[in-house]
Chain A
Amino acid sequence: MPSFFSNKKLIVLLTSLIVLIALISYSLKEGTRATWTEQFVQDVVGGFQYVVNVPARYVAGFFENVSDIENAYKENKRLKENLTNYASVEQENRDLTSQNKELKAQLGMKNDPSLSEYTKYSATLISRSYDQWNQLLTLDKGKVNGIKNGMPVITSGKRLVGSVTKVGNFTSKVSLISDDQNVNQISAMIEPKNGDTIYGMIEGYNQNKGTLLFGKIPIKAKVKKGQTVTTSGLSGKYSKGLVIGTVTSVSTDQYGLTKAAQIKPAADLNHLNYVLVIEKKKQVGGKGN
């Protein structure tokens, strides 16, 4: 019976440990920049993933449709009730839009695109990381289609999903907001119906509860359950007005200096098929006064 770890094997193990640590520190330092080898492998595998993914999605879509049909009747009933309000809301919206335009024109801001304007690129999900620790998606659009590093990714209804971290030529990787390495950079806000806007930061993701931590809220701010949290556009990375989620509970942080809230993400992060990658429109410099 050979001994479990002979001398030679011990040396191999130690060497590979050193290599592992070197690689980890390299990739942590490198951050979001993808080397050409990574890009190449990502693109080639992405092609194969696309081929496997299309029929799989088709089959999954069929089963989803069956359960959708069951829900359709109930939904239809509810929507019909809501439809009665639609006409009045639309009219109101039109009034407000024209009013807004006039006011903006008076302020001389007409040519200045606001923070919330952006261009969209639609993309299909071709794979996602299977261990839940890495929350990464692979999309079927890359540099060729105009995707760049750091662009925010949303689903329908402007619900924030994450941001692009590594771009290949034909595919790109998206880090979800539930990924612990991504989240500590989102500047967020709550706009209450009356009162001032409350600013804070999204600081982490709680996997047990499935909620985001919205921290650094001023202690005097009146945060309530059910309020909607959106991006503030202050950080520059995310444009303004993307919906992050709704507040589920509020607490004071451990030092008693600021408040913290738990937020349920608005987008269903487990159930993504199609996403939109958005790019902020370039601001026309020096015009706003």
Chain B
Amino acid sequence: MKQSKIFILLFFLFLIQGTVMPLIPFYSVGNNVQIISEFVLVALLMLAFFGSLSWGLKYAILFGFLIDIIYASVLGVYAFSLTLTVYLVYSISKWVNMNTAMTILLVAVGVCMQQFEVYVIYLMIGVTDQQLGFFFQFRLLPTVCLNAVFTMLIYYPFRRFFERLSDGIEK
């Protein structure tokens, strides 16, 4: 029951990323600005922080492959980078005291990591040929801003939801 609740939540965010977000006219903000929604990653990080890491990793692999199949042309890239990001950011989170500001900061770090990992892999296999300067200036900064705002909005409901769920799970 708990599993299915988490799955439905993540799946809903996954759908939003591909259907609703592209409809919002972000390109009117600036000519070249690329604002990417990484809502699944944000939810997975919150799940790892306040729920349990093992669930976070499992769902990271599952949704990574879903993203690869539905939204990407090369398999495995998102599955690998999502899982790695969730694990690394969770490792950092053990060293610090978790509060609202810290969570948002860590999510921002996670989004940066995720974007950079996918960028490096795609650059190596030739899916993209975006310049590094362009990536940092027009893509990373606005993307981090959007996802930080999203984290602020969902912080309290998600935290309560995951903490209540994790009561029953042995960590």
When the two chains form their complex, are residues A24 and B11 in contact, meaning their CB atoms are under 8 A apart?
no
Which of B42-50, B68-76, B98-106, B159-167 participates in binding chain A?
Answer: B68-76
The 8 Å CB contact of A24, one of B12, B27, B36, B75, is: B75
Binary contact readout A11-41 vs B (1 if CB under 8 angstroms, 0 otherwise) = 0010011011011101110000000001001
The interface residues of chain B lying within 8 Å CB-to-CB of A204 are 129
Q: What 0/1 readout, one digit per residue, does chain A (52-64) give for beta carbons within 8 Å of chain B? A: 1100110010000
Which residues of A from 112 to 146 have beta carbons under 8 Å from B? Answer: 126-134, 136, 138
Q: Which of A61-115 contact B (CB under 8 A)?
A: none
Given contacts A16-B83, A133-B128, A136-B71, contact A45 B66 (CB under 8 A): yes
- Interface residue tally for chain A (C-beta within 8 Å): 44
Chain B facing A: main interface SS: helix
Residue of B nearest to A51 (CB): B15
- A204–B131 Cα distance when bound, in Å, is 15
Whether B37 sits at the interface, judged by CB under 8 Å, is: yes
CB-nearest residue of chain A relative to B91? A4
Chain A's nearest CB lies how many Å from the CB of B70? 5
Which of A26, A38, A132, A181 is B69 in contact with, Cβ under 8 Å?
A: A38
Question: Which of B75, B77, B125 is packed against the most chain A CB atoms within 10 Å?
Answer: B75
Which A residue sits closest to B124, measured CB to CB?
A24
Looking at A138, A204, A208, the one whose CB has the most chain B CB atoms below 10 A away is: A208
A49 within 8 A of B: yes
B19 touches A52 (CB 8 A): yes
Please give me the residue from chain B that is nearest to A63 by CB atom. Answer: B25
Contact of A41 among B18, B70, B76 (CB under 8 A): B70
Q: Which residues of A are found within 8 Å of B141, using beta-carbon distances? A: none
What is the bound-complex CA distance between A20 and B19, given in angstroms?
27
When the two chains form their complex, are residues B69 and A41 in contact, meaning their CB atoms are under 8 A apart? yes
B152 within 8 A of A: no
Q: Decide if A129 touches B18 in the complex (CB within 8 Å).
A: yes
Q: Are B69 and A52 neighbours in the complex by a CB distance under 8 Å?
A: no
Q: Is the CB of B70 within 8 A of A127?
A: yes
Say which residue of B27, B36, B122 sits within 8 Å of A130 (CB atoms): B36
Q: Is the CB of A19 within 8 A of B21?
A: no
A56 to B20, CA, bound (A): 6
Q: Given A130-B37, A132-B34, A133-B127, do A27 and B18 touch, yes or no (CB 8 Å)?
A: no
Question: Counting chain B CB atoms within 10 Å of each CB, which of A16, A60, A126, A131 scores highest?
Answer: A131
Cα A181 to Cα B72 in complex, Å, equals: 12
CA distance A28 to B139 in the complex (A): 26
Shortest distance between the CB of B40 and any CB in chain A (Å): 10
In the assembled complex, the CB of B145 is this many whole angstroms from the nearest CB of chain A, namely 16
Residue ID in chain A nearest B24 by CB atoms? A60
CA distance A226 to B73 in the complex (A): 34
Please indicate the chain B residues that have their CB under 8 angstroms from the CB of A52 in the complex. Answer: 12, 15-16, 19-20
Please indicate the chain A residues that have their CB under 8 angstroms from the CB of B30 in the complex: none
Is B1 located at the chain interface by the 8 A CB criterion? no
Distance to closest chain B CB from A223 (angstroms)? 24
Report whether A134 and B18 are in contact in the complex, using a CB–CB cutoff of 8 Å: no
In the complex, A191 has a CB within 8 A of chain B: no
Contact B125 A28 (CB under 8 A): yes
Task: Give CA–CA (A72, B9) in the complex, Å.
Answer: 41
Contact pattern, B 92-132, Cβ under 8 Å of A = 1, otherwise 0: 00000000000000000000000000110110011111110
Extra contacts besides A16-B83, A180-B129, A210-B31 (5): CB < 8 Å: A20-B77, A24-B74, A45-B69, A52-B19, A175-B73
**Can you offer 8 A-B residue contacts whose CB atoms are under 8 A?**
A20-B79, A24-B125, A27-B74, A27-B75, A49-B15, A49-B19, A128-B18, A130-B37
**Which residues of chain B have a CB within 8 Å of any CB of chain A?**
11-12, 15-24, 27, 31-32, 34, 36-37, 66, 69-77, 79-80, 83-84, 91, 118-119, 121-122, 125-131, 134, 139
Chain A interface residues toward B at CB < 8 A:
4, 13, 16-17, 19-20, 22-24, 26-28, 38, 41-42, 45, 48-49, 52-53, 56-57, 60, 126-134, 136, 138, 165, 175, 179-181, 204, 207-208, 210, 270
